[in-house]
Structure 1
Amino acid sequence: MSAEPTTSADSAAPGTPEDARAFWEERYRDSDRVWSGNPNPLLVREVAGLEPGRALDLGCGEGADAVWLAAHGWRVTGVDISTTALDRAAAHAEAEGVGESVTWERHELGRTFPEGSWDLVSAQFLQSPVELDRERVLRWAASVVAPGGTLLVAMHASWPSWQSEHDHPFAADFPSLQDVLGELALPATWRVETLEEVKRDHPSPDGVPGTRGDNVWRFTRTA
């Protein structure tokens, strides 16, 4: 998902329907904006030093990451399951003057994927209360990184300090650094650049101070 929620996205989620597309359409249609409109800080930190090329933003949401990448010289393909989210993302890109640098595609990741190869594949917070075959998605993501390119993955490592699993109607999915390394099973033609849990300030929507841990993985395909 893209950027930080304008409200508590975790606690705002309704029950878990069987249809993932219906869940996310309802989620986006329930409010004028779900995410803050700012790029994910870990994306900015990890990508800032890379040479711009072709980028793929998986689970792009309302497009903040894709717009930031386009504004910094990347040619971007943004992918999401929700048509509503993609419409908002396209409007955001046009408003920022980068509409011609971004292509938007709807896919239910794990079942369908965009075609091509990319210099950067970014998967920011692909954590869902509805069905998502994360291992298949991440292995596919690695397979479409061009030689010399980058795979960047970030995921929440825990609930915010002011929340617990008992506050939510669905099970948490917080993979460890080693979990994702095992799922990817990258061969020796890959180099690990970043493997880190990052603690950051994360206040509640009503201002209660707190922190949250996020995990970040960055890899370079060397051949």
Structure 2
Amino acid sequence: MEHSAHQGHGEMRFDEASWEERYRTAPALWSGRANPQLVAEAAGLTPGRALDAGSGEGGDALWLAGRGWRVTAVDFSTVALARAAAQADRLGPEAAERVEWVHADLTRWAPRTSAFDLVSAQYFHLPPQDRDAAFARLAAAVAPGGSLLVVGHRPSELHAGSPEMFFTAEQVAATLDPAAWDVVVCEDRPRTAAGPAGRELPVADTVLLARRRA
């Protein structure tokens, strides 16, 4: 499952109305599986409190909940949040109780400071005028000793529109105070993704994992 601000060719749009329409016109936008970089980086973390920024239909939040995390999952699509909550109910009361679904616009919403042991933003592509401020609010929400995980698309045949919406792990790392953070991972990772007609195409993720010093 990918949480990106676009799918396929064309211009990326990041606004509530566009995403609500996308979710309404498709029975499911994502696979329901957790994003691979979240699985790679969070599988070994001690469960605590997690913030899933841009949670979509809930695959990441429910994966975390299934591993003992208490999750605040935030998205500005009410359709996506309703689907996620319904899936949590299908998984049983423990999953439902472990996730709080929050309807909010992350370009304005501020999470509680130092409240989360993990803050995850997967394919959270924002317009440049919103990006640094939003990432700063997410970083501020990480508790001492906690982790910030930011994953984005690198431009590719599948992700070619609106180049200003893309970022690198190095750009995000540069916004963090080096006196307060240790950068654990800062790299691009190649993989493949399903393209038109189901054919596999090469893509790459840019991955930042940083840990706030205790």
TM-score, normalized by the shorter chain, greater than 0.5: yes
CA distance in structure 2 between the aligned counterparts of 1:132 and 1:25, rounded to whole angstroms: 22
Query: 5+ residue gaps in structure 2?
Result: none
User: Is residue 152–residue 168 contact of structure 2 (8 Å, CA) maintained in 1?
Assistant: no
CA distance in structure 1 between the aligned counterparts of 2:159 and 2:30, rounded to whole angstroms: 21
Q: Report how far residue 54 of structure 1 moved.
A: 0.4
Question: What are the Cα deviations for residues 45-99 of structure 1, in whole angstroms up to 9, with x where unaligned?
Answer: 0001100000000000000000000000000000001111110111111112200
> Bigger CA drift: 132-141 or 48-57?
132-141
1:136 aligns to 2:128 (yes or no) = no
Indicate how the Cα distance of structure 1 residues 115 and 177 shifts in structure 2: closer, same or farther if over 3 A, else same. Answer: closer
Query: 5+ residue gaps in structure 1?
Result: none
User: Is residue 7–residue 159 contact of structure 2 (8 Å, CA) maintained in 1?
Assistant: no
Q: Report the count of equivalent residues.
A: 209
- Equivalent of 1:70 in 65, 69, 77: 65
CA distance in structure 1 between the aligned counterparts of 2:146 and 2:61, rounded to whole angstroms: 17
User: Is residue 105–residue 114 contact of structure 1 (8 Å, CA) maintained in 2?
Assistant: no
The answer for the alignment partner of 2:34 in structure 1 is 39
Query: What is the SS of the residue equivalent to 2:200?
Result: coil
Root-mean-square deviation (CA), in Å? Answer: 2.2
Query: What is the SS of the residue equivalent to 2:198?
Result: coil
User: Is residue 158–residue 214 contact of structure 1 (8 Å, CA) maintained in 2?
Assistant: no
CA distance in structure 2 between the aligned counterparts of 1:159 and 1:205, rounded to whole angstroms: 13
> Bigger CA drift: 58-67 or 19-28?
19-28
1:175 aligns to 2:167 (yes or no) = yes
User: Is residue 117–residue 146 contact of structure 2 (8 Å, CA) maintained in 1?
Assistant: yes
User: Is residue 56–residue 80 contact of structure 2 (8 Å, CA) maintained in 1?
Assistant: yes
**Where does structure 1 differ by over 6 angstroms across 4 or more consecutive aligned residues?**
none
The answer for the alignment partner of 1:24 in structure 2 is 19
- Identity across matched positions, percent: 43
The answer for the alignment partner of 2:143 in structure 1 is 146
- Equivalent of 1:122 in 111, 120, 123: 120
CA distance in structure 2 between the aligned counterparts of 1:131 and 1:21, rounded to whole angstroms: 17
CA distance in structure 2 between the aligned counterparts of 1:186 and 1:30, rounded to whole angstroms: 42
Question: What are the Cα deviations for residues 143-189 of structure 1, in whole angstroms up to 9, with x where unaligned?
Answer: 111111010110001224xx473xx5x4552212322222x232312
Question: What are the Cα deviations for residues 187-209 of structure 1, in whole angstroms up to 9, with x where unaligned?
Answer: 31211111111000223141323
> Bigger CA drift: 87-96 or 171-180?
171-180
Normalised by the size of structure 2, how large is the TM-score?
A: 0.89
Indicate how the Cα distance of structure 1 residues 145 and 164 shifts in structure 2: closer, same or farther if over 3 A, else same. Answer: closer
